[in-house]
């Protein structure tokens, strides 16, 4: 618990130097950052470089955070944008490492053990791979771990600045990934209020006001401009993957013919806007700028998922999923259960074509493939592949919850309350990420789990420390 009372800056400096040394060694071995800008959640790179503000304002498909980063990389780096991205993502890695270390110290891990534990986490393949790939997993994991550390510090020190930082990190995540939405943000505020002493709850709410307004601005902009009160117009597409898209083709087509579902129900959600040309009089609408009227992104020769067609598809896709849920509830439950092994599989093999030429981690695998294979074989190979050791995860989760509840029975002990709050925060993120990834999405769920990976490691560590100190008893017993 001493870590929450102020971890010496020298410990963080030592950790940061060791982290940067590890990244320089990896760079010397040939590992490079993959600044891939073809993702569905990206606008056209030329628009981002030359019309960044307009591109962000008229982007509705996904949260605009990664587009903002890409635009800044292109503007600042030009031909060296990948180098700017590398340094920036190393910065996210430093945030993750230091936040993780601070949290580990707050859970009662000794300084030297916490240092080795943090470095071990920072050197596992999934951390290295996502840190060297332009996708939102690394920034989200770093910001979420930072929020956890500041959450604990806010409870420990009753610090308005810590609470403000925590909620700013949470709001920034909402600008990057649609899974972490306004309801989740409000749940974080509620968790902070619940765990704080009664006299400090008003301070927590005040600290959340500005970050909440920051996140709400995105909702209001999308609502006013696109009629979508959310960070993403494509959120319902994920639910289609675990509902209507699970139907056999002949049944889906029959439902369409019987008008039980929309004409778009049998079309793959990954289909570009050209697939919907037959449903609309024209692909252009004078109300929208060029970014929303183009069928493709010319710079990268990829489909434009920010086309205005998808605004029209949003409600029909939602209704299709709801119809499926009403009429095939058991099939939906079966789909969720069927996807759990993939959810707990290796995070480095998340992409459907990950071992094909041109896959996101192809270059990373050329450098660290043997290490990745050994790690995945050790962690995910026993006792049941691909879940592996994650099959035992419920045990530390239950122990951690009981331990936090025991510590929470000491309301006058700030350190105990802060430690309990940190564990509750981590448990909430694990449950939230696993729940949403399995219930509302499919295919790449092992990647989605990565957002909560630091929380999983921290909770397991808390359970181990508690067991070693108290044997079969729980902390505080």
**pLDDT tens digits, residue range 143-190?**
999 999 999 999 999 999 999 999 999 999 999 999 999 999 999 999
| Helix H or strand E encompassing 302 | strand 302-303
pLDDT over 90 (residue 244): yes
Residue 124 · residue 93 · CB < 8 Å: no
Q: Which residue in the block uniquely carries the two structure tokens 């564990």?
A: 423
Report the range of poorest mean pLDDT among 261-270, 347-356, 464-473. Answer: 464-473
Mean pLDDT, all residues of the chain: 93
The percent of residues above 70 in pLDDT, for the chain, comes to: 96
The percent of residues above 90 in pLDDT, for the chain, comes to: 86
Mean local confidence (pLDDT), 294-303 = 96
Task: Quick: pLDDT tens for 313-358.
Answer: 999 999 999 999 999 999 999 999 999 999 999 999 998 877 666 7
Task: Quick: pLDDT tens for 27-65.
Answer: 999 999 999 999 999 999 999 999 999 999 999 999 999
Mean local confidence (pLDDT), 263-283 = 95
User: What pLDDT, on a 0 to 100 scale, did the predictor assign at position 359?
Assistant: 86
Burial class (CB in 10 A: 0-12, 13-18, 19+), 21: exposed
Task: Quick: pLDDT tens for 88-132.
Answer: 999 999 999 999 999 999 999 999 999 999 999 999 999 999 999
Q: Grade residue 471 by pLDDT with cuts at 50, 70 and 90.
A: low
pLDDT over 50 (residue 474): no
Question: Which is it for the CA torsion 364, 30, 453, 159, positive or negative?
Answer: negative
In angstroms, rounded to a whole number, what is the distance separating the alpha carbons of residues 339 and 241?
11
User: What pLDDT, on a 0 to 100 scale, did the predictor assign at position 3?
Assistant: 47
Q: Which residues contact 208 (CB under 8 A, 6 or more apart)?
A: 163, 167, 189, 192
Q: Which residue in the block uniquely carries the two structure tokens 């459907």?
A: 352
125 three-state secondary structure: helix
Task: Quick: pLDDT tens for 366-410.
Answer: 999 999 999 999 999 999 999 999 999 999 999 999 999 988 877
In angstroms, rounded to a whole number, what is the distance separating the alpha carbons of residues 169 and 189?
12
Question: Which is it for the CA torsion 409, 411, 415, 421, positive or negative?
Answer: positive
How crowded is residue 328: how many other Cβ atoms within 10 Å of its Cβ? 17
DSSP letter (8 states) at residue 2: G
User: What pLDDT, on a 0 to 100 scale, did the predictor assign at position 1?
Assistant: 42
């Amino acid at each position: 618990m001493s870590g929450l009372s102020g971890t010496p800056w020298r410990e963080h400096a030592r950790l940061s130097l060791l982290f940067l040394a590890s990244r320089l060694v990896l760079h010397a071995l040939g590992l490079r950052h993959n600044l891939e800008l073809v993702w569905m959640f990206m606008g056209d790179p030329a628009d981002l470089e030359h019309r960044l503000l307009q591109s962000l304002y008229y982007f509705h498909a996904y949260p605009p955070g990664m587009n903002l980063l890409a635009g800044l990389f292109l503007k600042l780096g030009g031909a060296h944008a990948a180098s700017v991205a590398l340094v920036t993502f190393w910065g996210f890695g430093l945030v993750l490492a230091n936040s993780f270390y601070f949290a580990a110290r707050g859970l009662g891990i000794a300084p030297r053990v916490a240092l080795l534990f943090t470095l071990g986490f920072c050197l596992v393949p999934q951390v290295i791979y996502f840190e060297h790939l332009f996708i939102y997993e690394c920034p989200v994991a770093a910001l979420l771990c930072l929020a956890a550390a500041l959450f604990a510090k806010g409870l420990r020190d009753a610090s308005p600045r810590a609470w403000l930082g925590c909620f700013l990190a949470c709001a920034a995540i909402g600008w990057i990934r649609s899974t972490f939405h306004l309801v989740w943000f409000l749940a974080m505020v509620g968790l902070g209020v619940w765990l704080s002493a009664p006299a400090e709850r008003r301070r927590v709410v005040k600290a959340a006001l500005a970050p909440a307004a920051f996140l709400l601005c995105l909702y209001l902009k999308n609502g006013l401009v696109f009629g979508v009160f959310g960070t993403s117009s494509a959120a319902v597409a994920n639910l289609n993957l675990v509902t209507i898209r699970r139907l056999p083709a002949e049944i889906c087509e029959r439902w369409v013919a019987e008008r039980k579902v929309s004409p778009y129900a049998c079309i793959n959600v990954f289909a570009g806007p050209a697939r919907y040309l037959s449903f609309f009089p024209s692909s252009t609408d004078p109300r929208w700028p060029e970014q929303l009227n183009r069928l493709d992104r010319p710079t990268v020769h990829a489909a434009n998922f920010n086309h205005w067609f998808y605004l029209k598809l949003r409600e029909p896709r939602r209704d299709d999923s709801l119809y499926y849920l009403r009429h095939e509830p058991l099939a939906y439950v079966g789909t969720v259960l069927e996807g759990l092994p993939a959810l707990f599989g290796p995070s480095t093999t998340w992409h459907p074509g990950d071992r094909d030429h041109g896959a996101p981690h192809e270059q990373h695998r050329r450098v660290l493939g043997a290490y990745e294979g050994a790690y995945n074989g050790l962690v995910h190979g026993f006792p049941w592949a691909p879940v592996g050791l994650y099959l035992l995860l419920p045990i530390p989760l239950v122990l951690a919850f009981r331990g936090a509840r025991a510590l929470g029975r000491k309301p006058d002990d700030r350190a105990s309350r802060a430690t309990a709050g940190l564990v509750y925060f981590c448990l909430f993120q694990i449950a939230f990420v696993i729940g949403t990834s399995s219930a509302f999405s499919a295919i790449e769920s092992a990647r989605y789990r990565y957002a909560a990976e630091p929380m999983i490691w921290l909770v397991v560590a808390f359970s181990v420390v508690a067991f070693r100190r108290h044997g079969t008893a729980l902390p505080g017993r």
